[in-house]
Copies of this chain bind each other. A is one copy, B any other.
Amino acid sequence: MENVQPADGSSLHHPDTPDARRLDTATATFRMLSDPTRLHILWLLAQDPSDVGSLVERTGASRTSVSQHLAKLRFSGLVTTRKSSRHVVYSISDGHLTRLVMEGLNHADHKVTGEPAHD
């Protein structure tokens, strides 16, 4: 009673049924993208590696908040760190993530400027 994906050989595009593990992993990533401050941080990092102070300035969030968010991003493996003197420089670890961020913003732009599309 878990997956009822039809047994026919129709090659729509996704023969795989998502097991709980994959769903949870994807969910975790999406959850990391579901906070404005975090998404802003990731968007900034998607363009250039940056240290914490710069992220604080550019996001307008508090140092604590940025640090906490960076900790989560680091813990989730979405960003990597590099020490430079007393600065810690953050970078996006995965190119896939950059695409997700960009597509998300793109989709948002589509919704904001375009259609109110309600039911």
Spell out A's residues near B (CB within 8 Å). 1-5, 12, 14, 18, 20-31, 33-36, 39-40, 43-44, 46-51, 53-54, 57-58, 60, 74, 77, 80-81, 84, 87, 89, 93-94, 96-97, 99-100, 102-112, 117-119
Q: 4 more A-B contacts (CB under 8 A) besides A2-B50, A5-B58?
A: A2-B51, A3-B58, A4-B50, A23-B36
Contact indicator B80/A93 (Cβ below 8 Å): no
Contact indicator B48/A112 (Cβ below 8 Å): no
Q: Given A84-B2, A119-B80, decide whether A21 and B112 contact each other with a Cβ distance below 8 A.
A: yes
- A49 to B2 alpha-carbon distance, docked (Å): 8
Interface SS of chain A: helix, strand, loop or mixed? helix
Residues in B with CB closer than 8 Å to A21 are 112
Contact indicator B53/A1 (Cβ below 8 Å): yes
Contact indicator A117/B93 (Cβ below 8 Å): yes
Residues in B with CB closer than 8 Å to A112 are 21-22, 25
Interface centre among A60, A96, A118 (most CB of B within 10 A): A96
A to B CB contacts below 8 Å, 10 in the list: A2-B84, A3-B49, A3-B54, A20-B36, A23-B36, A23-B39, A28-B34, A29-B107, A34-B34, A97-B107
